[in-house]
Amino acid sequence: MKKTYTIVAAVVILVILAISVYFYSNAPKPSPKVVQTLVLGTTLDVTPNLDPGQNYLTGVLNLNNVVFDPLYEVPPNIYPNAYLAPRLAAGDPTVSADGLHWTIPLRQGVKFQDGTPCNATTVKYSFDRLSNLKSYSAWLLESVASVDVVDTYTVRMNLKFPNAALKGALTMPVAGPVSPSAVQRMGLDAFGKTPVGTGPFKYVEWVPGDHVTLAPYTGYWNQSRVPKVNLVYKIFADSATMKLAIQKGEIDSAWDNIRYSDYPSLLSDPNIKHVVVTEGYYELLTLNMGIPNSPLRDLRVRQAIAYSIDQNEISQKVFQGIYSPANDTLFVSGQYPKPSWLQYKPTNVAKAKQLLTDAGYPNGIDITIWFTGVIAGSPDVEALIQEQLGRAGIRAKLQSQDTGTFYARFRGGQFESAVGQMSADYLDADSTASFIAASTGSYSKRVRLNDTMLDSLVRQGVATTDPAQRAKIYGDIQDRLAALCVYVPIVNILDLWFYRTNVSGVQSYYFQYSPWWTLDKSPTT
């Protein structure tokens, strides 16, 4: 009897396997497709919708950068000399003498993916819609009072105050025109699932939590940018699975959020290549100036911490040298670089101890550093920082918290010290300065930074269009931030974009400006 059971079990298993393999390998293959499908793996989920006016998540920004056309763009492969170039705009804006009126010429002959012509009226509609939706994305246009249609292919943006950073803001995919007829026809919810723009790709399907499919828009106005492949944005729950999937050839590319500890095995894989992507952010340790009775209120204590942190050691031990030590206090990726932080280098434990003694803490201090798991390198970075601070007599207690609570408390300025990340939203120095230096900035509130000099400099920077003057102002901001020592920059975050050797056309790019229209894939693996 037992022999019968064994035979039956073995036969059942073999039959299932045989059916799977037979059907998969021997069934008539579908006729060759006109274009290849390239699968781009990521751990960046897209939720709750794909509407550029409502979603500001990194994954959606990148998708929308190829489905929508912002007026301006940051061309690929130009870092560290990134600049702004016209995309849907036909040229640079003409700015009035008082800086309050921006006249922008638009490209002619552009049509949305549903055939609707794109012109000044649709651009105005899209900007008005973005403002009216009142989502997080709307802040991009907070300096804009109204938009006028000058003629069929010219719009004028009337500003509430001069804003030299507006051109940079207009590179954001959230500012890409949407098809008014599609919005009206589909309604807000349906439009959010497959929105319609003028970009080189169009949305085909979104299966929440699993994948987004894009197809080339053959009617794209710039024929040289019509994509050669269908694109599947495949969402993984875990970086480890995504790494194995690209090694196995199940996906063609691991585009984002590969864990840094997985880099070595991918870098040594002969079937996989990579490019470096500038993510536009850096990791930092915040030192809150405003917690009552905290020793961090004393500048000398903050400086002692700055002298204790060894960025090189963190870069080498935690990030295997891939992430470089950060020397700028205002990360602007090629715009107005000024390594103000070098004044705290090299690491000087003796000086740190002396500063603590001068501040009245000869026996060291106790501080609490908060962190959350989503920060790159966590918790290794925090553990190493704890060790480094300990060398100078600074006893750091590490406290982890879940992401939601962490950000809620962080934003409320409740942490004495925390490890966080600071990113630029778009290519303009003001994108970070207004967050990190102005007292109204959400990041400044996290360290209770309220400095009149910085406020004044930030206002000047955004109101000045002259590049030389702006370089001076943003240099001064960086010097001031380093002098106040409320942020200790740790490492510049880079991302490696991995792809299999049969994928071509991969270009490095600047954070959310992914140029996926250049991708191609040879049929053989």
- Stretch binding other proteins (CB under 8 A), from 150-158, 296-304, 418-426, 447-455: 418-426
| Crossing angle of the two packed helices 299-308 and 380-391, in degrees rounded to 10 | 110
For other proteins, the closer of residues 131 and 464 by Cβ is: 131
CA separation for the pair 395, 399 (Å, rounded) = 13
Say which DSSP state 89 is in: B
* Per-position x/- string for 441-480, each x denoting binding to other proteins as judged by CB under 8 A, each - no binding: -xx-------------------------------------
Q: Is 134 in the site for other proteins (CB under 8 A)?
A: yes
CA separation for the pair 131, 117 (Å, rounded) = 22
Residue spans of beta strands (DSSP E) within 227-267 = 229-235, 253-256
Q: Is 20 in the site for other proteins (CB under 8 A)?
A: yes
Burial class (CB in 10 A: 0-12, 13-18, 19+), 20: exposed
* Per-position x/- string for 165-204, each x denoting binding to other proteins as judged by CB under 8 A, each - no binding: ------------------------x--x------------
What tokens appear for 152 in the block?
A: 């069929």
Of positions 368, 378, 421, 502, contacts other proteins by CB under 8 A: 421
Of positions 194, 247, 278, 315, contacts other proteins by CB under 8 A: 247
Q: Is 3 in the site for other proteins (CB under 8 A)?
A: no
457 sits in the region (left: phi over 0; alpha: psi -120 to 50; else beta) called: alpha
Q: Sign of the CA dihedral 34, 40, 45, 50? A: negative
Q: Which residues contact 486 (CB under 8 A, 6 or more apart)?
A: 286, 287, 288, 289, 302, 447, 449
For other proteins, the closer of residues 121 and 403 by Cβ is: 403
Q: Is 228 in the site for other proteins (CB under 8 A)?
A: no
Q: Is 213 in the site for other proteins (CB under 8 A)?
A: yes
Q: Is 29 in the site for other proteins (CB under 8 A)?
A: yes
Q: Is 285 in the site for other proteins (CB under 8 A)?
A: no
What tokens appear for 387 in the block?
A: 């060790």
Residue 438 Cβ vs other proteins, minimum distance, rounded to whole Å: 13
For other proteins, the closer of residues 49 and 335 by Cβ is: 49
Count other Cβ atoms within 10 Å, centred on residue 334.
14
What tokens appear for 82 in the block?
A: 């990134």
Binding residues for other proteins, total number by CB under 8 A: 65
Residue 413 Cβ vs other proteins, minimum distance, rounded to whole Å: 12
Q: Is 12 in the site for other proteins (CB under 8 A)?
A: yes
3-state secondary structure of 415: coil
For other proteins, the closer of residues 106 and 481 by Cβ is: 481
Residue spans of beta strands (DSSP E) within 208-355 = 211-216, 229-235, 253-256, 272-287
Q: Is 489 in the site for other proteins (CB under 8 A)?
A: no
Q: Is 408 in the site for other proteins (CB under 8 A)?
A: yes
Q: Is 113 in the site for other proteins (CB under 8 A)?
A: no
Q: Sign of the CA dihedral 472, 477, 483, 489? A: negative
Phi, psi dihedral angles at 51 (to 5 degrees): -65, 120
What tokens appear for 236 in the block?
A: 């993984």
Q: Is 215 in the site for other proteins (CB under 8 A)?
A: no
Say which DSSP state 37 is in: E
3-state secondary structure of 67: helix
Residue 10 Cβ vs other proteins, minimum distance, rounded to whole Å: 11
Residue 357 Cβ vs other proteins, minimum distance, rounded to whole Å: 36
Binding footprint of other proteins on the chain (CB under 8 A): 1-2, 5, 9, 12, 16-17, 19-25, 27-30, 37, 39, 45, 47-49, 56, 134-136, 139, 189, 192, 207-211, 213, 232, 234-238, 240-242, 244-245, 247-248, 250, 401-405, 407-408, 411, 420-421, 423, 435, 442-443
